[in-house]
Structure 1
């Protein structure tokens, strides 16, 4: 942890920069976070960071956003978690809300080259993070075997249930195989957080799940039905990222609030912006009230307000779970038996990251040897710290754009 207190403004600015430059999806985001807070600033150890990632993999919601909230909470308490979320989320949310208001049929294929360049950078970022985490978290043969086993399982059976099984299996294996290594491991004891606030957050999480549908049934305006649909989508999705799409489709397309063409166009636009995929909710909130068709009636303000409401609704359960679970997690993780289990979990997390690096990141981005060469260059730039990650992202986007012009 940093010496002294990290100011909320500093937390916000760091996450704002990450929100402007973190392309590539949830796993890439987690890699960007590690580069910033573990490698560059050394505010978190690899073990502490992997513990946080494992907790967020267990909980429903957008895993990378929850990791960001957790980092903010570790550095600045509950307020730190809020400013971390705000900084990381707002750049893409604002862009998508404006696109929703002014929707005229955005064609994501018009920037295919940019997206290709950003995907290749993401492969290099994730590969660099994977190697760094493997060196730190898999220093002996039992943990290397655990990581390899987790990788194979996730490639063969890539489901949310397999992910839970791999993490639980890693914990059990750690209990059995790694107890003797606990005394040799330096352990970082985090500053305590209030369990009273944690209990309140968990109670509110479940209360909203129960009460919002009741309010939606009574309310005649439809506002609570919208809030309930987005809150439920954020609260019940495991795996995060693209897994939320069927839930959002059920929430807004099936009732007839958004047509399929508009929904898919917004999803395509979401792929072209940095930050979490859940900011798709900002676009959907804007088009619920007609987007550009409402401008003549002053509907732009209704669209923008609805956009912010749906954005908060889909992220609120994730924040409540981080605030509710992290204090209890911090209190039990220093117990020797839990330390051994977490060593196994951390090795399993390395395996999860390796599996995702292969599928879908590598298979979705690498199509020829030119792509392999670009990834190798990105990896070398990160390995030798030639330029910062944000600059590499910008170069990747520009190179992709120029290559698209030549095709």
Structure 2
């Protein structure tokens, strides 16, 4: 299963990407119908042996119908594309495999068709998020001989680089290894940056001698001075490489999940369970009385990705209990972090036949009820599945002929 590795760069130009808003969830009734005029954008990779580029398709709803990649959609330039939306802009980003890549932005025209509005070059960063009126980006060192990682701010009002600085990520780890940020998120007036510890030694680069701990660096904003590090040894690290493990709910409480993915010399070595922990609103410490053990509730499965549905309800992409790798998602569960209830979802394809999931690029209107995930099966069929939290069930919705769904996004029309 393909994991997203978002590329950003050319900092002043990139600020166009984020100038619109900090939310990609339209108002909606949970049934695929929105109160904002616009389109759903479906990214799909055509069926081919190698070297194919995605097509961007549009749809009015996700609950049914069929669209096709044949003679349809907007073809992307190059493989390994990744997607996001900001306000009424849809961004398509080329992963350059270590080289510069292109970012292309689209808007909907008056006829509801995608129109290109900008295209520029990028450089690789490993984490990013909106913070206040800025976009904060982190470029993380993976070489133990280079202790310095870099942060950049782009102001979304002036479209100018408004600040930059350095973080000594070896010093931050404090254990002879390097801190590698999995993601960043604004929490109140702070920036929370979960990280995992890696050797970064060129031999066991992403391995660690500390598989049974988690860390969240808390930075002051806007100067990005380190306030503290939240530490815990009830789980392994929060999230995963390029995987957001934090969510802030409507109350301002922070929920952090961990899967025991840490390795040492190529072997999975964490002894801790997959679980959610909580940081109460206004605090920078874990609530020691809260621990939602997903390993126990699920019978030994791991979380591969989360999709927050709202009101404390999470849709989780899960693994088979026999799989050690959390990115091999082939089943789904619902976790209510308020009641600590876990329920397996019915109605999805046979796990043995699932070959691809849209995971990090799935969609929810955050109504507490509904989520949408693209699932492709071994027979080559790809469809959007609608997940109903109340019924703990999924139903097959919009079908995509001739392609594998890699992203589902809502794109509002121009105001």
Pair in the same fold by TM > 0.5: no
Normalising by structure 1, we get a TM-score of: 0.26
Q: Going by fraction, where is helix more abundant, 1 or 2?
A: 1
Normalising by structure 2, we get a TM-score of: 0.26
User: For the pair shown, which has the larger CA radius of gyration, 1 or 2?
Assistant: 1
Q: Going by fraction, where is strand more abundant, 1 or 2?
A: 2
